[in-house]
Amino acid sequence: MGHLDHATFGWLTPVLSYAMACVGAALGLQCTVRALGASGRSRRNWLVTAASAIGTGIWTMHFVAMLGFGVSGTQIRYDVPLTLLSLLVAMLVVGMGVFAVGYGRERGRALVLGGLTTGLGVASMHYLGMAALRLHGDVRYDPMLVALSVVIAVVAATAALWAALNIKSPMAVAGASLVMGGAVSSMHYTGMLAVSVRVTSSTAELPGASTMQFIFPLAVGLGSYLFLTSAFVALSPSAGERAASVSAQRPVEHTAP
């Protein structure tokens, strides 16, 4: 059995990955709250942004955490197409969950459907990302811990979407995003605890890209996208603020000669 190290850089990767999950969750929840206060094309655009933010945050959390993952006795490489597919799956499946909540007629059913879909999206992204792993040996999973990680993902997603439907204040959104970030991280490390590797000694060159060649630059790029979009959303006026500014301008228009 190869010895697994989940934090080869110490606390840096777990803390940074948690921060990325929180930023993605905060942005996604804020966009979902904005979507619920909008209609038509505006609602759709906010929901698309929410899905891309949550999907990107989850993916970045996973692969920033994976920067600190090492197995004694073998190098690690990543299959590039599968890694990109895991990002696409995260965005698409989370998108389905977010749209279920954004357009659901009956809140309770929409929440269950949205939470289940989004949670399964988080889990499928994680295990697709793990399937992209290339190393000298066999990767095995503890089925009970895999099942637990999926349950954590579904419960976390449902709780986060419930928060988006029921809370409006920035402080409450911030609190919910910290909880969701913690839950996504818990799901990730529960999924990682399920992993065991039987290393086979080999000098053959592994296919795929190393973390520094591929994962690191992509994580930096997606992290930058999250922070820039967060700034844009924070600075753009909400529906309530726009309505207030319009009503404030009306008396001025009437008094004009």
Decide if pLDDT at 216 tops 60: yes
Q: What would the mean pLDDT of 189-195 be, rounded to a whole number?
A: 91
118-127, 204-213, 241-250: range with lowest mean pLDDT? 241-250
CB 210, CB 62: distance < 8 Å: no
Average pLDDT of the chain to the nearest whole number:
83
Position 150 pLDDT exceeds 90: yes
Measure the CA–CA gap between 9 and 7, rounded to whole angstroms. 5
Q: At what angle do helices 143-166 and 170-193 cross, to 10 degrees?
A: 170
Q: Residue 50: pLDDT above 80? A: yes
Question: For the chain, first and last CA: distance in Å?
Answer: 85
Of residues 125 and 254, more confidently modeled: 125
- For the stretch 57-109, pLDDT in tens is 888 988 888 888 888 888 889 998 998 999 898 889 888 988 888 888 888 88
Question: Is the alpha carbon torsion for 74, 76, 81, 82 positive or negative?
Answer: positive
pLDDT above 50 for 168: yes
What's the gap between Cα 79 and its chain centre? 20
pLDDT for residue 85: 92
For 137, phi then psi, to 5°, come to 145, -175
Segment 241-251, tens digit of pLDDT: 555 555 555 55
Q: Look at residue 148 in the predicted model and tell me its pLDDT.
A: 95
Cα distance between residue 173 and residue 246, in whole Å = 26
Residue 252's pLDDT is what? 46
pLDDT at 122 over 50: yes
- Domain assignments of the chain as residue spans, ordered by start: 4-252
Per-residue pLDDT, 202:
78
Q: Percentage of the chain surpassing pLDDT 90?
A: 17
Distance CA 31, CA 42 (A): 11
pLDDT score, position 116:
92
- Residue 207, class by beta-carbon neighbours within 10 Å (0-12 exposed, 13-18 middle, 19+ buried)? exposed
Residue 183: pLDDT band (50, 70, 90) is confident
* pLDDT for 247: 54
The confidence score (pLDDT) of residue 149 equals 94
DSSP string, the chain: -PPEES-TTTTHHHHHHHHHHHHHHHHHHHHHHHHHT--HHHHHHHHHHHHHHHHHHHHHHHHHHHHT-EETTS-EEE-HHHHHHHHHHHHHHHHHHHHHHHH-SSHHHHHHHHHHHHHHHHHHHHHHHHHTEEESEEEEE-HHHHHHHHHHHHHHHHHHHHHHHH--SHHHHHHHHHHHHHHHHHHHHHHHHTEEEEE----SPPPSB-IIIIIHHHHHHHHHHHHHHHHHHHHSPPHHHHHHHHHHHHHHHHH--
Instruction: Note the pLDDT of residue 34.
Output: 87
Record the pTM. 0.82
pLDDT for 198: 87
- pLDDT value for 236: 78
Judging by beta carbons within 10 Å of its beta carbon (0-12, 13-18, 19+), is residue 169 exposed, middle or buried? exposed
